[in-house]
C-alpha cells in the first residue's frame, strides 16, 4: 500500500524508516502494524538518537539490584531488607498543549512506573521550566502545570516533597515538566515487567480505554512542537481517585505473589506494555482488542492498541491464579479483564474477535534504527565563551538594591506559593520538606535511616558549555544531598533537548552526556534510570539544553541531618570551597545576576571536579559528625543570595566580617561552583577548620549569625525584614 507523507508525519516515522520496516517484514505493514511500529520506533519509546549515548553512563554499583535499562526504574538496596525504586520522566509536550492534564498525567505515569515494580510510591519531586511570567501564555502554563501536579498528587496520597522551577524566554513556547517518583519495596518483593511463561494470561486492570492520548508518544514527544496544530486529543486525561485504588489493588496482588509480572500502560499504551514485556521474556503474545473494556463506542483496533488512557496496568497471570487476582480487583471495585495470552513463538498477534488485524515479530517491533549523534560546535558558542566579562560595567544600582532585586526575581524567590499547594506531609515520612533544606529528607519507617532527594539542572550554563552544564547538573544535585547529611548513591536523568537532527543540538546532547559521565565517575555515583525528551522546539527555536538530574542520598541516622536555615545566635559562618571572597569577573559566566541586571548570557563556566569531590566529602563528614547548625550550597545568585536565604529561613540576621577583592558584583553574586555556606557553634569552629585542613578543603570565615540585619562591611546593611519581603513575596508579585 502507498503510505502518504502525512501519515508518516503523524506517527513520526521517516520514509527511510518506513522502508526499513517493509524490508524487515518482507511486506508492507497494514495500518494497525504501522501504528505499532510508529509508537515503538518513536524517539520516546525507541531512543533512536540517544540509546548509544546513554550506554556511556556509569551504571555499576554494589547497591544496584537491577541492571540499568532492564526495568521501568532503577532499584537500589538501602539495607534493612528494603530497596528504593526511583525514576524521572518528562511530560513536556502534553503540558504545552493542555497544562493541567499534561502535568497531572505526568505525575500519574511516573507513579505507575514505580508501582509496576511492586513498590509503594512514597515521594514525588518535579523540575519545571517556563517562559517569563511577564508573558500571559507562560503564566497560564505555570498556573495550569502547578494545579495539575497538586490536583493529582494530593488525591493519590503521595507527597510532593521537593523540586525546582526556572523561568527563561527559551522555554516560552515549550515548557518542561519533569516528574520524579520514589517508591520503597521489600528487597525480596520486586516485581518484573517480564512475560516468560507461555500460556500465562495478559490481564488488563484499571480504567476503561478511550481515545485520549493516541499518538501521544509517537507524535507529541517525538517531533518538534507546533502550537498552531490541534493536538488536544493526543493529551491523556487522568483520574487520580482511580489511580489511588489501582495502587492498592496492584500492591496487594504483588505482595501476595499472585502475578508473574506487571507493567504500566504509559506511552503507546497496550502496544508498548505488552510488546516490551514479552520481548524481555523472549516470548510472544496473542491479544484480542474486543476484550478490552472501552468507554467510547466504535473504537478501532488501531485506536485500542495505541490509546494512552491513564490508570491502566497490565498483569501477567498464571491461569491457576486468575480467580484470586479477580477477587482482589473486585474488592477494590476495579476492572480486571483477560485480553490475551503469552505464546512461545516470538510473534505479536492482534485479533479483533476471530479476525487477525496485525502480526509481526516482536524482535522487529523492538529494534528501531539507532543513529549516531555527534554534531558540530556552533560558531556563536565560541564567541559567547570568549566574551570579556571584565568589560561588563558595574550596575548603577548599589549592592543593596541589586541583592534585593535578585532575591525577588522569579528564578530565586521563594517557591512557597507553589509548594503550599502540594501536600508534602502525607504518609508522615517527610522530615525536611520544601523550603527547609537543599534536598528533601525522608525517614525510612521501621529503621533508623533516611533518604534524601534532589533535582537540579541549569539550562543557561549548559547553553554556554554543555559539557560543564552536564557536570554541574550532577554535582549540584549531589551537593544538595550532602548538605542534608546524606551520601549520594544513585542518579536518574531527564535529558531535555531540541531536535537532535540539527548539528548544534546534536553537539549539545553529546557534550552534555560526556559531562554527566565525567561527573558521575568523579563522584562514584551511577545513573540507574531516566528519560530522554528530544524535539523540544517551537517554530524552529530549540529550548536551552536542559539536563535535569534527580539524585538519591542515603543517611544511616535520621537524627544526623542538616537544614539550610541559620539556627543559633552567635554561630560562626564559614565558606567551604574557598579561602577568600574574590570578585573575579569570570565567576559571572551564565549567572542569574548577569542576565537579570545586564540582559546578557555569556562567558565560560568552569568547574574543578577534584575540588568538588573533596568539598562534598568534607560537608558530608561534618554533618554526620554533628558539627554543623546549617549547610546551604551556593548556586543561583552566588554567595550573597545563599547567605541571605539562610538568614531569611532562620529569621535571624548575619553579621559579615570578611573583605572581598576585585569587583563587588562578582564577589557577592558570582556563581563559582563547589562552595557551601555552613554555620557552626562557636565552640566547634576550630574543629571544623581542622577537618577542612585535613581534607585539603579551602575554608573562609565569613562572619556570625545574629541580630536583625544583614550586613557586610562597606557593601551591605539591610534590615532582615526587607530581605524577607523581597524573597518571600517576589514570585507572587510577578504573578500579579
Catalytic residue list: 44, 91
- Please, are residues 23 and 372 in contact by the beta-carbon 8 Å criterion? no
CA-CA distance, 301 to 31, in Å (whole number)?
10
DSSP β-bridge partners for residue 378 = none
| Residue 703: strand, helix, or coil | strand
Yes or no: say if 121 and 115 are a contact pair by the CB < 8 Å rule. yes
- Local structure of 552: helix, strand or coil: strand
Q: Which residues of 576-611 are buried (b: 16+ CB within 10 A; e: fewer)?
A: bbbeebbbebebbbbbbbbbbbbebbbbbbebebeb
- As given in the structure block, the three cell numbers for residue 525 are 555515583
Please give the Cα distance from 676 to 393 (Å, whole number): 28
Question: How close are the terminal C-alpha atoms of the chain, in Å?
Answer: 56
Handedness of CA 115, 523, 457, 400 (dihedral sign): positive
Kindly state the cell numbers that stand for 82.
528494603
What secondary structure does DSSP assign to 358-389, as a single string?
EEEEHHHHT------------HHHHHHHT--G
DSSP letter assigned to residue 225: B
- Cell digits of residue 334: 476495579
The helix (run of H) or strand (run of E) holding residue 84 is strand 82-90
Q: Return the C-alpha cell found at 626.
A: 554533628
Q: What phi and psi values does residue 673 have, to the nearest 5 degrees? A: -75, -175
| Angle between helical axes of 609-624 and 685-694 (0-180°, round to 10) | 140
CA dist 710 and 643 (Å) reads 9
- Closest-CA residue to 413 (of 658, 637, 120, 126): 637
Rounded Cα–Cα distance for residues 690 and 684 (Å): 10
Helical segments of 332-440, H only: 362-365, 379-385, 399-407, 416-419
Place of cell 507493567: 263
Query: Can you say whether residue 421 is alpha, beta or left, with left for phi > 0 and alpha for psi between -120 and 50 degrees?
Result: alpha
DSSP H/E element including 583? strand 581-583
- 3-class DSSP state for residue 699? strand
Listed in sequence order, the residues at least 6 apart from 348 whose beta carbon sits closer than 8 Å to its beta carbon are 36, 274, 275, 278, 284, 285, 287, 358, 359, 360, 361, 362, 365
What distance in Å separates the CA atoms of residue 461 and residue 544, rounded to the nearest whole number?
Answer: 9
Within 10 angstroms of residue 395's Cβ, the number of other Cβ atoms is 15
- The number of residues in the chain equals 736
Amino acid at each position: 500500500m502507498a503510505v502518504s507523507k502525512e501519515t508518516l508525519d503523524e506517527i513520526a516515522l521517516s520514509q527511510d524508516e518506513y522502508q526499513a520496516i517493509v524490508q524487515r517484514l518482507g511486506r508492507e505493514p497494514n495500518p494497525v502494524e504501522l501504528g505499532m511500529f510508529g509508537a515503538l520506533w518513536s524517539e520516546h519509546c525507541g531512543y533512536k538518537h540517544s540509546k548509544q549515548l546513554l550506554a556511556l553512563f556509569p551504571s555499576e554499583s554494589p547497591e544496584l539490584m537491577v541492571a540499568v535499562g532492564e526495568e521501568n526504574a532503577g532499584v537500589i538496596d538501602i539495607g534493612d531488607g528494603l530497596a528504593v525504586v526511583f525514576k524521572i520522566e518528562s511530560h513536556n509536550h502534553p503540558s504545552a498543549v493542555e497544562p493541567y492534564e499534561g502535568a497531572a498525567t505526568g505525575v500519574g505515569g511516573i507513579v505507575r512506573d514505580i508501582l509496576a515494580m511492586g513498590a509503594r510510591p512514597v515521594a514525588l519531586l518535579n523540575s519545571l521550566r517556563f517562559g517569563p511570567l511577564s508573558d500571559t501564555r507562560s503564566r497560564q502554563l505555570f498556573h495550569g502545570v502547578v494545579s495539575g501536579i497538586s490536583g493529582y498528587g494530593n488525591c493519590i496520597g503521595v507527597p510532593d516533597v521537593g523540586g525546582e522551577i526556572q523561568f527563561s524566554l527559551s522555554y516560552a513556547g515549550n515548557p518542561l515538566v519533569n516528574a520524579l517518583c520514589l517508591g520503597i519495596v521489600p528487597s525480596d518483593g520486586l516485581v518484573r515487567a517480564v512475560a516468560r511463561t507461555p500460556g500465562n494470561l495478559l490481564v488488563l486492570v484499571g480504567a476503561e480505554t478511550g481515545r485520549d492520548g493516541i499518538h501521544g508518544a509517537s507524535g507529541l514527544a517525538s517531533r518538534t512542537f507546533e502550537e498552531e496544530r490541534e493536538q488536544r486529543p493526543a493529551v491523556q486525561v487522568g483520574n487520580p481517585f482511580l489511580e489511588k485504588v489501582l495502587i492498592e489493588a496492584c500492591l496487594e496482588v504483588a505482595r501476595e505473589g499472585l502475578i508473574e509480572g506487571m507493567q504500566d500502560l504509559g506511552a503507546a499504551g497496550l502496544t508498548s506494555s505488552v510488546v516490551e514485556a514479552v520481548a524481555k521474556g523472549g516470548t510472544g503474545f496473542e491479544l484480542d482488542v474486543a476484550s478490552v473494556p472501552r468507554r467510547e463506542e466504535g473504537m478501532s483496533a488501531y485506536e485500542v492498541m495505541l490509546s494512552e488512557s491513564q490508570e491502566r496496568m497490565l498483569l501477567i497471570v498464571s491461569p491457576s491464579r486468575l480467580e484470586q487476582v479477580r477477587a482482589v480487583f473486585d474488592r477494590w471495585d476495579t476492572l480486571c479483564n483477560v485480553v490475551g495470552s503469552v505464546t512461545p513463538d516470538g510473534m505479536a498477534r492482534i485479533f479483533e474477535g476471530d479476525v487477525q488485524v496485525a502480526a509481526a515479530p516482536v524482535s522487529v517491533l523492538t529494534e528501531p534504527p539507532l543513529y549516531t549523534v555527534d554534531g558540530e560546535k556552533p560558531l556563536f558558542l565560541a564567541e559567547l565563551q570568549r566574551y570579556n566579562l571584565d568589560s561588563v560595567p558595574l550596575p548603577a544600582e548599589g549592592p543593596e538594591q541589586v541583592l534585593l532585586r535578585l532575591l525577588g526575581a522569579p528564578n530565586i524567590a521563594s517557591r512557597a506559593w507553589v509548594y503550599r499547594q502540594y501536600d508534602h506531609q502525607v504518609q508522615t515520612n517527610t522530615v525536611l520538606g520544601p523550603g527547609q533544606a537543599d534536598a528533601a529528607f525522608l525517614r525510612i519507617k521501621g529503621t533508623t535511616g533516611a533518604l534524601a532527594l534532589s533535582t537540579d539542572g541549569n539550562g543557561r550554563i549548559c547553553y554556554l558549555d554543555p559539557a560543564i552544564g552536564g557536570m554541574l547538573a550532577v554535582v549540584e544535585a549531589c551537593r544538595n544531598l550532602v548538605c542534608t547529611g546524606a551520601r549520594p548513591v544513585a542518579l536518574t536523568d531527564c535529558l531535555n533537548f531540541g531536535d537532535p537532527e540539527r548539528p548544534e543540538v546534536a553537539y549539545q546532547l553529546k557534550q552534555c552526556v560526556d559531562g554527566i559521565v565525567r561527573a558521575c565517575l568523579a563522584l562514584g555515583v551511577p545513573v540507574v534510570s531516566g528519560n530522554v525528551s528530544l524535539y523540544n522546539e517551537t517554530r524552529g527555536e530549540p529550548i536551552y539544553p536542559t539536563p535535569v538530574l534527580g539524585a538519591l542520598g542515603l543517611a544511616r541516622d535520621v537524627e544526623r541531618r542538616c537544614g539550610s536555615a541559620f539556627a543559633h545566635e552567635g554561630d560562626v559562618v564559614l565558606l567551604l570551597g574557598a579561602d577568600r571572597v574574590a570578585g573575579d569577573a569570570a565567576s559571572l559566566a551564565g549567572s542569574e545576576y548577569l542576565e537579570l541586571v545586564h540582559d546578557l548570557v555569556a562567558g565560560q563556566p568552569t568547574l574543578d571536579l577534584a575540588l568538588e569531590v573533596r568539598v562534598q566529602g568534607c560537608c558530608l563528614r561534618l554533618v554526620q559528625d554533628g558539627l554543623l547548625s546549617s549547610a546551604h550550597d551556593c548556586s543561583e545568585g552566588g554567595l550573597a543570595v545563599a547567605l541571605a536565604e539562610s538568614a531569611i529561613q532562620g529569621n535571624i540576621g548575619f553579621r559579615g566580617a570578611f573583605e572581598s577583592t576585585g569587583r563587588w558584583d562578582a564577589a557577592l553574586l558570582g556563581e563559582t561552583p563547589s562552595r557551601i555556606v555552613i554555620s557552626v557553634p562557636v565552640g566547634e569552629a576550630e574543629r571544623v577548620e581542622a577537618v577542612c585542613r585535613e581534607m585539603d578543603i579551602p575554608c573562609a570565615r565569613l562572619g556570625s549569625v545574629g541580630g536583625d540585619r544583614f550586613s557586610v562591611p562597606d557593601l551591605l546593611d539591610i534590615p532582615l525584614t526587607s530581605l524577607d519581603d523581597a524573597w518571600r513575596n517576589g514570585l507572587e508579585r510577578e504573578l500579579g
